Amino acid sequence: MSALEVQNAAKNFGGVHALRGVSLSLEEGERMVLLGPNGAGKTTLFHTISGNIIATSGSIKLFGADITRLAPDARARLGVARTFQITNLFANLTVLENILLAVCGADKLTFRFIRPLEGYSGIQARARGLLDTWGLSAAGDTLVRNLSYGEQRQVEVVMALSGEPRLLLLDEPTAGLSPAETLRVVEMVRKLPRGMTILMIEHDMDVAFEIADRIAVMHQGRIIAEGDEIAIRGNKEVSDIYLGVEETDA
């Protein structure tokens, strides 16, 4: 059974065809990177998998269960975690508070009204443990809005990890980062448990080849190429798009 099975997913925004029938399948523990120029439909595809957008047609299955029309929070409870292309954190809360909320969500610790969150020692310990593991302990009491952009991207990834998701969606986690910061995030992803299935959007080819078992290239709402590093590097259509060779149709 595939961890993720997208079948013929399409999405129209009015007359704009953002997705024109995308199919892809990830085995459990597989790491796939989505490449493609701006406007190719990568983020739209992500949104249809995470539930922020419901596909116009097609189906999406998570470990065999149909999640095509589920709300984002229901998908999260089934083990889908994601980061956002534009940093989406609780800016006015501290790093620790951000991670605490993530751990609460993962543990389904939601409708508890009386005991203060500080009193849940297991949750506190797990949140602090995550900060330790990913080298963010020193920033624990810092408000997220006062972090550097690079650190915010790391918090974003740690947040997605805190529920030990079955499927992790990373939307350009290295976008806008310095080479050193990019390296840190790549290291983070490489250190993740091998059983975790990962789908990642990435613009940087080197990062993509570093992380991915398999690569899919999107263009104009379709997957135009799929395979390992050699196959992708050798694909003429891909190099045309990336090297900006004149296109035959628009």
Alpha carbon distances (Å) from 232 to 46, 60, 128, 223? 21, 25, 41, 12
Largest CA distance in the chain: 64
Q: Pick between residue 117 and residue 205 the one whose CB is nearest to other proteins.
A: 117
Q: Pick between residue 83 and residue 182 the one whose CB is nearest to other proteins.
A: 83
Residues lying near other proteins in the complex (CB under 8 A): 50-52, 71-73, 76-77, 81-82, 84, 88-93, 97, 100-102, 104-106, 108-118, 120, 123, 159-160, 163
Q: Pick between residue 92 and residue 121 the one whose CB is nearest to other proteins.
A: 92
Q: Pick between residue 82 and residue 184 the one whose CB is nearest to other proteins.
A: 82
Minimum CB distance to other proteins, residue 74 (Å): 8
Minimum CB distance to other proteins, residue 194 (Å): 23
First to last CA, the chain: 37
Burial pattern 166-185, b for ≥16 Cβ within 10 A else e, equals: bbbbbbbbbbebeeebbebb
Minimum CB distance to other proteins, residue 123 (Å): 8
Check: CB of residue 115 under 8 Å from CB of residue 123: no
Cα–Cα distance for residue pair 114/112, rounded to 1 Å: 6
Minimum CB distance to other proteins, residue 223 (Å): 24
Check: CB of residue 218 under 8 Å from CB of residue 40: yes
